Every structure is written in structure tokens, then in C-alpha cells.
Structure 1
Amino acid sequence: MGQTSGHQERSEKPEVAPSKVMEAEIEVQNKKEETKEVKAKNQKLISVFGLADLKNEAIGLYNLGQSCCLNSLLQVFLMNIHFTRILRRITVPPSPAQRRSNVPYQMLLLLEKMQSGKCKAVGPTELACCLSEHRVELFVQHDAAQLFLTLWNLLKKQMKKPELVKELRDLYTICIQEHVACQKCSFEVKSKSTMLTLPLPVLDANSHRLKTLEDCLQYFFHPEELTGQNMCFCQQCGRKTPFLQSMKLVHLPQTLTLHLKRFCFERSSRTHKLSHSLPFPQELDLRQVLAESQCQADDNEKATWHYELFAVVAHSGSASCGHYCAYIRSLTDCKWYCFNDSEVCQVSWDDVKCTYGRSNLYWRETAYLLFYMKKHPQQPWPGLSGCL
């Protein structure tokens, strides 16, 4: 009995001890692999936008009741990698009440919800409630250009880190120089200002249709004579005189936003939608579009004015009743997607071109906001540090 028992003890030790060692080694190895996997995943999340890029699926947003305009703009913001890199570095508000009313924080939560979920669409309910606290009405039709400005101002106001506010300005703001010159003497006033979008007319002063986006840009920067009732007071002449008003482009941001002024007021005070065809290019080089007299920038600045179309916010329907959707080109797979609230699908460039517009078909999708992104981004321009 004793020999048998002793033999059993000696035989168990070589079997049990290596098993524990092996389990410990496997556990350590698994932890190392998990750590590497988590680090790799986090690094990928920092550099690309969420589930849409990680799983080749685009995540939609449920319509909460006429929230198509908000949904389209949110998709444009959150699919912009340069914007999400800023958003990820915001300061988290300390109290629950502050977090509920903080637009950047609620937008970040929505981004994380879109990235971590397995659903085809998520609801932006918390963000919509947050916006309502800032007088952004729910369940009403919004104008995309106005709502874009409202969202941007709230983001800028509530980002507490000055360096992030500056990055946000550098990412979106356009710098121009305004010139007003008396036609009777040499008196001239110059002033610099910034804009979030370039509001481009689609008709000229004689109500003639402008044929291309390039025509709209050239017309926007074309000098305008201020005569008759529009004359200005000249300090040098001491009376009202004809003036020449013009704008010159000084600096363009990494993401350039163009607002096609498709809605106009008629004499009856009713808003009318202009749906005629207006082609826009996939690539836009402002150096080839604007004349030398329409620019106030050096060669280094102009060298960065080569853009590629990133997104289109399109409107269908009439001025009083309509629907918004967004066409966005993924920055990772370079494919176009249509974001129509909760429905998202891959589309072609020919599908995007359908938003050029067509006369007398007001219900068709018509491009309203165009977002272009620099092909060769440069360092943030120091001249914007004091703007806006």
C-alpha cells in the first residue's frame, strides 16, 4: 500500500505541475494577444470612422419626425475623419445635467453608439433633445444651410479647449477680404472676414441661370457696382457716390462648404425653389476657376486650393415641403453612399450626378450643400487664430 501510494504521488507531480504552468503561460499569451488586438482596434478607431469603415457597412439614423435634415448633416460631420479626430479630444462635462446639454459630448456619444452597435441604424434621440435645449426645434422642417451654421456654432461655443476650437475653425472657415471703393475718388475700405460657407447664387442679377458650379463661383467674386439707391457715403467726397464692391479670396479651409442658393423669395413673399440643372465636378481647382484679381493669397496658399468632392446634401420636394438625404464618399474605401435616414446603400457617381437638378421637376433631388475636401491638406493656417 505504501509503495503504491508513494508511486502515485511521484507520478502525479510531473503531470499536474506542467499543466498549471501551461495554463498560466496560455493565459499570459492570451492577455498579450488581447492587448495587441485592443490597441490595434483603438488605433483603427482613431484613424477611421466607425462601423461604416470597419465592417464595410454604413450606419443609418432613424427619423424622429422631420429630422431628415439633422440626420443628413450629422452623417456629413461624423463621416469626416478630420472632424471626428477633434471630437474625440473634447473635455467631458463634469455633471449629468451638463453632459445632457453639451452638443459636442452628445455628438461623441452618438458616434460611439454608431461604432459599437450591430444595428443598421441608431436613433439620435439624446442629441436631438440636447439641441432642443438650445432652441433647435424638433419635428419641424429645417433649412440645411441654417442648421449647419447652428450646429457648428454650438460645437464651437461648447468646446472648452482653445486648441480644439482653433482646429475646428481651421477645418471649416473661409477667409475673404472685402473691398469697397468710391468710383469718384481713390477712397477705399478693406476688411477681412470669415465665412462658414460660400453662399453661391444660381441666378445672375438679370435672373439668368448660371450653367455650372464654376460659373457660380466666378459670379460670387465678381465686383458689383453700387449705384442709385445703393450708393454709399464717401468720407473723402463728403456725399453719397457710386461704389464698387468686391470680395477676394484669402484662405480656404481643409473642408470647403458651398451653399447653392436654390431657394429664393418671389414678389408674393413666397419661397420658390430653383431646380434647374447645375453640374458640379468631382475635382475642383480654385486656381483654374478664379481670376487673379479675385484672389488675395500667395502661391503657397493657392497651391492647396485643389479639392475633391466629399459630400452632397440634397433636397427633394418643394420649398414648403421636402426631404433631405446625404451622398457621402467614404474616406477609407472611396466609395459613394447614400444616407437616407435609416436606409443606407452604396451608390455610383452617376447616382450622385442625379442631384444636378432638372427644370420643372421640383420633387426631384437637387444638390443644396456641397462639401469639398483638400486633396493635399496643409498645416492649419495661422491667420485664422483670431477669426470668428
Structure 2
Amino acid sequence: MISSRKRNLEEVNTEETKKLREDAVIQQKKFHGLKNQGATCYLNSIMQVFFMTPEIHDRLDPESQKIDQELRNIFERLKKGTCGTEKITKTLEIHNVSQQRDAADCLDLILCKVSPRVSELFEGQLTYTTKCSKGHVINEETNPFWTLPLSLRDNPDEIYSMEGGFEKIFQTKSYSGDNMVYCGECEKKTEATSKCEMVKFPHILILLLKRFGFDYYTMSDFKSNCCVAVPSEMTTNGKKYKVYGIVNHMGSLRGGHYTATVLFREDHTWYDCDDCNVTKAEEQLFAKTKTYK
């Protein structure tokens, strides 16, 4: 009885020691930021999300003459301390680092320049099909995408549902009356339906909340500040996606600031990345509910 109890205590102590060591490693983990060259917060935010995406690290081509080498260098330097982005802005041909730029445009620029093995992580394909009322295919085309834009305009609810906006992309649209479509086989305008289907699912799905737009009534640009409900995960055709990174824009249309909120998968903790400052997020996303507003 005594030896058995002693052994059990030793096993408990071993487990407790192991857990304390693991907790200590997590507590000692310190993430580093990126220096802002003037107004390059849009680039810094994207870089931090990329840094927290292990799949990208595994696909960077060490022999590539493209942007892969610069990404690899930034990732290695970020593991040791705060670093700059002068070389990558030069590679991206961003000459005026004090000019306000859009993070989504910068993301497209990066994906155009990285090696195909990296960009294909984000690539999906959508097929658009239009059929007349008799089932004749009027038009069918398949297009690749890196991001799926979600329009915040004409939202009837006080809070915009990102999941609802995503599902809206794949809803069937009908054409009738003045909006009828010409069918070559019917040789006349006819009622028709169009449908969008995702035929290739990206490994990493990027959804773009289109807060920026142009109002044709006032002939001016605008930014939508409506509240958005972001689910912790979404499922489409059996494919499940979990949110692990968000790029945020604060401020007005003419002047603002980008930050990133990213999940570190090893300790399941969210971190706020604001240029040089990277801190544990005060509000841990989805900790209490499965929806973050």
C-alpha cells in the first residue's frame, strides 16, 4: 500500500512538473512586431497573419527569385525580435511608404508575386451557370479566386452576418420581366436562373468585408461602420473552415490604421498585432460564444 501510494504520488508530481514546464514555455513565448515605415500598417498586419500560418512557411521556395526569400527572412527575424520591412516594400515596388494603402490590395500584390506553391493555398474556383426556364445553358464560366468579397450594402439587419453574406454568394438568382435573358437555343428572351458553385475549395479561405465603396447618388467614397457577426467556424459542402486571423481597419476613409488579431495555434491564444507591439488579446475571441462581433 505504501509503495503503491508513493508511486502514484510520483506519477502525479511528474505530470504536474510536465504541465508547469509547458505553461512556462507558453508564458515565455514572446511575439515581436514590425516597424512602421510611415503608413505601412497594412503590410505589417498581413505579414503577422502570414507569420502565424505554418502552411506558408513550409511552401516558401528557398531557390525562388520572387518574394519568397524576403518572406523567409522576415519570418526568421520575427522569431528573434522586432524587425523592419524595407526590403519587402522594395520588392513589392511600394515607393511611397507614407501613402495610405488598402490591405486587400496589398494582399493581392503579394499573392501575385509569391511562388505558386504559396499562392495556391488561397486559390479556389467558382463556376457561374445561367440557364433558361427550359434548362438550356445560356452561359457557364469558371473563375479562380484568392478572396471572396462580401458586400455590406443593403443590409436589412442591424448586425451584418458574415455567414449569411457568404451563403448569399451561392443563392440562386432569378431573371424575369424586364430582366429576362436571351437564350440562343430558344432564340428569344426568356426567364432564367443563375447559380454560383464553389468547385475548388481553397485550403485557406479569405473573406473580404467590403467596408469601402462608392455611392453613385452622392458621387463620393464611403466606409461602412456596421457591426459584423463573425462565426468561429463555417461549413460549406462538408468543408469546415475555422477563423484564425482577422485584419482590422480603424478610422475613417481618408485616414486610418490597420492591425491584426491572430490565433497562435500552439497555445490556442489570440494576439493583437499593432506594428511594433504584439500583445495577448484582452478579449479572447470566441471564448464565451461562437460568434465574435
| Pairwise CA distance, 1:233 | 3.5
1:244 partnered with 2:216? no
Partner of 1:309: 243
8 Å Cα contact 1:337/1:346 also seen in 2 = yes
State the one-letter code of the partner of 2:53.
Answer: N
CA, structure 1 residues 170+351, in 2 after alignment: closer, same or farther (shift >3 Å)? closer
CA, structure 1 residues 142+171, in 2 after alignment: closer, same or farther (shift >3 Å)? same
Partner of 1:264: 213
2:227 match: secondary structure: coil
| Pairwise CA distance, 1:321 | 1.5
2:152 paired residue among 189, 202, 211: 202
Partner of 1:385: none
2:233 paired residue among 275, 283, 287: 283
CA, structure 1 residues 150+53, in 2 after alignment: closer, same or farther (shift >3 Å)? farther
CA, structure 1 residues 129+54, in 2 after alignment: closer, same or farther (shift >3 Å)? farther
Partner of 2:14: none
8 Å Cα contact 2:33/2:276 also seen in 1 = yes
CA, structure 1 residues 79+245, in 2 after alignment: closer, same or farther (shift >3 Å)? same
Per-residue CA deviations over 1:61-109 (Å, capped at 9, x if unaligned) read: 010011000110111112200001111x33154xxxxxxxx32222222
**Whole-angstrom CA distance in 1 between matches of 2:175 and 2:95:** 37
State the one-letter code of the partner of 1:344.
Answer: V
**Whole-angstrom CA distance in 1 between matches of 2:50 and 2:29:** 19
**Whole-angstrom CA distance in 1 between matches of 2:212 and 2:179:** 24
**Whole-angstrom CA distance in 2 between matches of 1:104 and 1:61:** 18
2:71 paired residue among 85, 101, 107: 107
1:152 paired residue among 105, 111, 129: 111
| Pairwise CA distance, 1:250 | 2.3
| Pairwise CA distance, 1:154 | 1.1
Partner of 1:91: 63
Partner of 1:171: 121
8 Å Cα contact 1:67/1:139 also seen in 2 = yes
State the one-letter code of the partner of 1:310.
Answer: Y
1:64 partnered with 2:12? no
Listed as ranges, the gaps of 5+ residues in structure 2 are 1-24
Per-residue CA deviations over 1:267-305 (Å, capped at 9, x if unaligned) read: 222221111111112222235xxxxxxxxxxxxxx2xx1
State the one-letter code of the partner of 1:130.
Answer: T
8 Å Cα contact 1:271/1:320 also seen in 2 = no
1:191 partnered with 2:150? no
**Whole-angstrom CA distance in 1 between matches of 2:103 and 2:88:** 17
1:344 partnered with 2:278? yes
Per-residue CA deviations over 1:224-247 (Å, capped at 9, x if unaligned) read: 234577654422233444432220
8 Å Cα contact 1:201/1:220 also seen in 2 = no
**Whole-angstrom CA distance in 2 between matches of 1:271 and 1:352:** 33
| Pairwise CA distance, 1:312 | 0.4
CA, structure 1 residues 230+317, in 2 after alignment: closer, same or farther (shift >3 Å)? farther
Of 261-270 and 53-62, the range deviating more from structure 2: 53-62
Partner of 1:30: none
CA, structure 1 residues 56+143, in 2 after alignment: closer, same or farther (shift >3 Å)? same
TM-score where L is the length of structure 1 = 0.61
**Whole-angstrom CA distance in 1 between matches of 2:221 and 2:263:** 31
1:125 partnered with 2:86? yes
8 Å Cα contact 1:327/1:352 also seen in 2 = no
State the one-letter code of the partner of 2:75.
Answer: L
| Pairwise CA distance, 1:199 | 0.9
RMSD: 2.7
1:224 partnered with 2:168? no
CA, structure 1 residues 239+222, in 2 after alignment: closer, same or farther (shift >3 Å)? same
State the one-letter code of the partner of 1:126.
Answer: K
Higher helix share: 1
CA, structure 1 residues 240+150, in 2 after alignment: closer, same or farther (shift >3 Å)? farther
CA, structure 1 residues 229+349, in 2 after alignment: closer, same or farther (shift >3 Å)? farther
1:330 partnered with 2:264? yes
- Identical aligned pairs, as a percentage? 24
TM-score where L is the length of structure 2 = 0.80
State the one-letter code of the partner of 2:206.
Answer: T
Partner of 1:48: none
8 Å Cα contact 1:71/1:341 also seen in 2 = yes
Per-residue CA deviations over 1:193-246 (Å, capped at 9, x if unaligned) read: 221111112234xx5246312211122211223457765442223344443222
| Pairwise CA distance, 1:136 | 6.8
**Whole-angstrom CA distance in 1 between matches of 2:151 and 2:182:** 27
1:74 partnered with 2:8? no
8 Å Cα contact 1:327/1:339 also seen in 2 = yes
**Whole-angstrom CA distance in 2 between matches of 1:55 and 1:333:** 12
